[in-house]
Amino acid sequence: MRTNKLIVAAATAALALGGLTACGSSSDSGSSTNGTVAGGFIFGGPPEFKTRTDGIPGLKKNYGVEFGKYKVTDTGGPVTVGALKRGQIDAADLFTTDPSIEANGFVILKDPKSNFAAQNIVPIINKTKATDGVKQVLNGIQAKLTTEGLGELLDKIQNKKQDPDAVAKEWLSSNSLGTTGTSAKGVTLTVGSANFPENVVLADIYADALTAQGATVTKKLNIGSREKYYPALAGGSLDLFPEYTGTILQYIDKNASATSPDDVYTALTKALPANLVALDKAEAQDSDAVVVTKQTAQKYGLSSIADLAKKTK
């Protein structure tokens, strides 16, 4: 069922790109709306990236980068990857753990000014549900999550087409975290996820581990972007969500300036509403990145985000 939802979501998002044709980007014609490399580019990403602090506004503020057009695709998923491969967009917002980057030879542009803050995985939970047993289960998961491990989970889901829930159960078992017990007995939680594979499998990991420890868990997966799920989390209709420290901080506090893992986490714990709490952050990070094809990087001499602001001849 979850796999079908992902397919439907991807197909729906693909319709949004229906008006684009292959090799239809403005950069192909050599035109530029502002005399820079980026001015001739179509950028693709989720709706929130267009307005959030470290998205398009951050790229303009920190690097002077202004893209010619913005096309809404999906959140680091197959629609974005496909559009980049086909030349329907010239640059994209993808996640650094995305296996499609290596598989397609995409180039991650360096971010020397730290436009993208640290993005450690962190469970955000309703304070009333954060019993000692629940915290023990979730913090045990956090201690085992690594950036490399996230990439391996995504490879199984995206490239090997395995079911996210099956991948989650296998990961819990291989890390000795899937045993049954009573640590979370008596707790009832609704666990949510955004609509991209990594977030789904993280939600499955949290939910399955808590279920094994006696909790009564309902899953609400593939909800959509942060604008859709965060009000539910803050309002109490969702109890637990896998989040990313940097983006959730900047979503809550538009003036947040922290960038290092510890500083971002500290700022997040202070910014969350009183009914929510952040549990342990994982070593694992999955940051947003500006990504281009190898061909585009070579054509325009791109290695850093700053190179997108170079003047064209």
The full DSSP string for the chain is: -HHHHHHHHHHHHHHHTTT--TT-SGGGGT--SSSBTGGG-EEEE-GGGGTSTTSHHHHHHHH----SEEEE--SSSHHHHHHHHTTS-SEEEEETT-HHHHHTT-EEPB-TT--S---BEEEEEEGGG--HHHHHHHHHHHHH--HHHHHHHHIIIIIS---HHHHHHHHHHHTT-----STTTT-EEEEE--SSHHHHHHHHHHHHHHHHTT-EEEEE----SHHHHHHHHHHTS--EEEEEHHHHHHHH-TT----SHHHHHHHHHHHS-TTEEE-PPPS-B--EEEEE-HHHHHHHT-SBGGGGGSBP-
Which among 292, 141, 288 has a CA at the least distance from the CA of 213? 141
Please state, in angstroms and rounded to a whole number, the distance separating the CA atoms of residues 248 and 246: 6
Can you give the pLDDT of all 313 residues of the chain as single tens digits?
Answer: 333 333 334 443 444 444 444 334 444 434 567 799 999 999 999 998 999 888 999 999 999 999 999 999 998 888 999 999 999 999 999 988 888 898 899 999 999 998 998 999 999 999 999 999 999 999 999 999 998 899 899 999 988 999 999 999 999 999 999 899 999 999 999 999 999 899 999 999 999 999 999 999 999 999 988 999 999 999 999 999 999 999 899 899 989 989 889 999 999 999 999 999 999 999 999 889 999 999 999 999 999 999 999 999 7
Please state, in angstroms and rounded to a whole number, the distance separating the CA atoms of residues 66 and 57: 9
Classify domain 2-113+288-309 at the CATH superfamily level: Osmoprotection protein (prox); domain 2 (3.40.190.120)
Please state, in angstroms and rounded to a whole number, the distance separating the CA atoms of residues 151 and 90: 24
Domain residue limits, the chain: 2-113+288-309, 121-278
Position 27 scores a pLDDT of 41
Asked if the 121-278 domain carries CATH number 1.10.357.10, the reply is: no
Position 114 scores a pLDDT of 87
Position 34 scores a pLDDT of 79
Please state, in angstroms and rounded to a whole number, the distance separating the CA atoms of residues 97 and 75: 13
Position 2 scores a pLDDT of 35
